[in-house]
């Protein structure tokens, strides 16, 4: 009887899966960023830019307040309850749960948030407040393109040529999409520090970086059907080293060791430093010429100048140098991640309807079942992804039943969408995604 039941379920799944291929290109454009720099204080003060706010109780799945609010104080109350005080005139109490705060009205729409008497920061999107470690944790639910408007100028010099900023935008977008499960099944997907990518919110935004984000909307780098591991660093010193030399583990084809430039010329990063210091960058051969990353033994060359960072993947000063000389973002990325290609996430492709952000509550990509086997080499807390391999052996009958349960519990979207979300994972290049779940 049990076997018969399982066989029926398998048949239903097979039908539901027909024609549905899991793809990282379906990623939601809403990303949950843990505002870990704010800590986990006893209370937050939130101010909507418009003077109007909507409060949504995610645990109960209902809007609980919508109206005027200059200042909202969210604090931990007796018995672990959350107290929400609106302009000192209205107090609301909730059992331990997740509360979403969204500004209402016309642009500019953002929320300022501060912990206790500390400095406040402004964020686009929605702020979620969740009880954590005896205090409160703030998570920003933000459109990934808005997230990048803050990440790009935080990660690369704001004076960089346009091409370097565009290359940085694509690398940072890819990095985010690939690392959506870096913090496990936790309360957020990526954090706001160098552990993931630096994200201080609106304060850091500049027009040039926002334009670079817009011009590259939805673009990521892929390799062998997965988002590439687009690690980057400040300055390689003239020679890039391979990911294997830096962190051991499996060899990654596009993260090889090679000279950062054209043979017989100064490395691109020397030009980048000169550009940043307002010195003439000199002349190099025409941009499209001789741009081949030739492999080199990583430890046999003397550095040309002081290096900063792990020296794997894109050298940011090198990208600035290439941009200053006249190379495009595509050429910069082809040089630092050879063999990768640009793909566009489905939300940015005209004619493809995003299936996520129109409904409430805001839904983010679901985490697939994972085993605890580390994906590659020793863990490097600052750069290497902690994604774990989806083990075939981890998918037995019980996980299948759990899967079906979660699909039938999914509040929005069809079963097929549920399955697609459930089984998508940004895997390591070379590892196949879970196309086949049985």
| Contact set with Zn ion (CB under 5 A) | 191, 195-196, 236, 260, 269, 315, 318
* Cα–Cα distance measured from residue 183 to residue 188, given in angstroms and rounded to the nearest whole number: 7
Q: Which two tokens mark 370?
A: 């994972």
SS3 readout for 114-178: EECCCCCEEECCEEEEEEECCEEEEEEEEEHHHHHHHHHHHHCCCCCCHHHHHHHHHHHHHHHHH
Q: Which is nearer to Zn ion, 157 or 224 (CB)?
A: 157
Q: What is the smallest separation between the CB atom of 249 and Zn ion, expressed in angstroms?
A: 20
Strand segments, DSSP code E, in 311-379 are 314-315, 341-344
Q: What is the smallest separation between the CB atom of 57 and Zn ion, expressed in angstroms?
A: 27
- Bridge partners of 52, per DSSP, are 68
C-beta atoms surrounding 205 within 10 Å: 19
Q: Which is nearer to Zn ion, 76 or 312 (CB)?
A: 312
Q: What is the smallest separation between the CB atom of 387 and Zn ion, expressed in angstroms?
A: 12
Q: Which two tokens mark 147?
A: 């997230």
Q: Which is nearer to Zn ion, 45 or 235 (CB)?
A: 235
Contact 419, 17 (CB under 8 A): yes
Q: What is the smallest separation between the CB atom of 195 and Zn ion, expressed in angstroms?
A: 4
Question: Max CA-CA distance within the chain?
Answer: 79
Q: Which is nearer to Zn ion, 197 or 340 (CB)?
A: 197
Q: What is the smallest separation between the CB atom of 151 and Zn ion, expressed in angstroms?
A: 12
* Cα–Cα distance measured from residue 418 to residue 438, given in angstroms and rounded to the nearest whole number: 16
Q: Which is nearer to Zn ion, 55 or 137 (CB)?
A: 137
Cis omega (within 30 of 0) for bond into 231: no
Q: Which is nearer to Zn ion, 84 or 176 (CB)?
A: 176
Q: Which is nearer to Zn ion, 218 or 313 (CB)?
A: 313
Q: Which is nearer to Zn ion, 126 or 197 (CB)?
A: 197
Q: What is the smallest separation between the CB atom of 379 and Zn ion, expressed in angstroms?
A: 13
Q: Name the CA dihedral angle for 397, 400, 405, 407, rounded to a multiple of 10 degrees.
A: -170
For residue 133, the Cα-to-chain-centroid distance in whole angstroms is 24
How many Cα atoms sit within 13 Å of 412 on the Cβ side? 15
Q: What is the smallest separation between the CB atom of 10 and Zn ion, expressed in angstroms?
A: 37
Nearest 5 degrees, angle CA 181-CA 186-CA 187? 115
Q: Which is nearer to Zn ion, 196 or 384 (CB)?
A: 196
Cis omega (within 30 of 0) for bond into 313: no
Q: What is the smallest separation between the CB atom of 130 and Zn ion, expressed in angstroms?
A: 16
Q: What is the smallest separation between the CB atom of 293 and Zn ion, expressed in angstroms?
A: 12
Beta-carbon contacts of residue 396 (< 8 Å; ≥ 6 apart):
none
* Cα–Cα distance measured from residue 287 to residue 116, given in angstroms and rounded to the nearest whole number: 52
């Amino acid at each position: 009887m049990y076997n018969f039941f399982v066989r029926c379920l398998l048949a239903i799944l097979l039908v539901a899966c027909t024609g549905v291929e899991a793809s990282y290109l379906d990623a939601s454009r809403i990303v949950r960023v843990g505002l870990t720099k704010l800590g986990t204080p006893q209370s937050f003060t939130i101010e909507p830019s418009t003077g109007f706010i909507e409060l949504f109780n995610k645990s109960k799945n209902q809007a609980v307040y919508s109206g005027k609010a200059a200042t909202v104080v969210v604090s931990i109350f007796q018995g672990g309850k959350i107290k929400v005080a609106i302009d000192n005139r209205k107090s609301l109490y909730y059992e331990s749960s997740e509360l979403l705060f969204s500004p209402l009205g016309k642009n500019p729409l953002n929320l300022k948030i501060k912990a206790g008497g500390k400095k406040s920061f402004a964020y686009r999107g929605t702020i979620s407040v969740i009880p954590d470690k005896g205090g409160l944790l703030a998570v920003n639910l933000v459109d990934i393109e808005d997230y990048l408007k803050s990440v790009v100028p935080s990660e690369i010099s704001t004076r960089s040529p346009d091409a370097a900023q565009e290359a940085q935008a694509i690398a940072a977008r890819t990095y985010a999409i690939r690392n959506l499960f870096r913090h496990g099944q936790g309360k957020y997907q990526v954090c706001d520090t160098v552990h993931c990518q630096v994200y201080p919110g609106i304060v850091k935004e500049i027009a040039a970086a926002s334009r670079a984000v817009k011009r590259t909307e939805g673009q990521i780098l892929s390799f062998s059907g997965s988002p590439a591991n687009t690690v980057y660093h400040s300055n390689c010193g003239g020679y890039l080293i391979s990911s294997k030399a830096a962190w051991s583990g499996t060899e990654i084809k596009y993260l090889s060791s090679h000279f950062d430039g054209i043979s017989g010329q100064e490395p691109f990063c020397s030009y980048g430093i000169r550009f940043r210091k307002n010195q003439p960058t000199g002349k190099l051969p025409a941009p499209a010429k001789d741009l081949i990353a030739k492999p080199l033994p990583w430890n046999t060359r003397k550095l040309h100048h002081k290096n900063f960072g792990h020296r794997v993947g894109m050298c940011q000063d090198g990208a600035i140098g290439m941009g200053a000389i006249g190379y495009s973002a595509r050429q910069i990325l082809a040089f630092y991640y050879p063999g990768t290609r640009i793909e566009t996430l489905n939300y940015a492709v005209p004619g493809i309807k995003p299936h996520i952000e129109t409904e409430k509550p805001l839904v983010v990509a679901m985490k697939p079942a994972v085993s605890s086997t580390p994906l590659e080499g020793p863990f490097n807390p600052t750069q290497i992804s902690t994604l774990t391999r989806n083990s075939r052996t981890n998918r037995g009958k019980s996980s299948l039943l759990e899967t079906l349960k979660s699909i039938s519990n999914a509040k929005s979207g069809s079963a097929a969408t549920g399955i697609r979300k459930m089984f998508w994972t940004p895997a390591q290049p070379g590892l196949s995604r879970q196309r086949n779940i049985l």
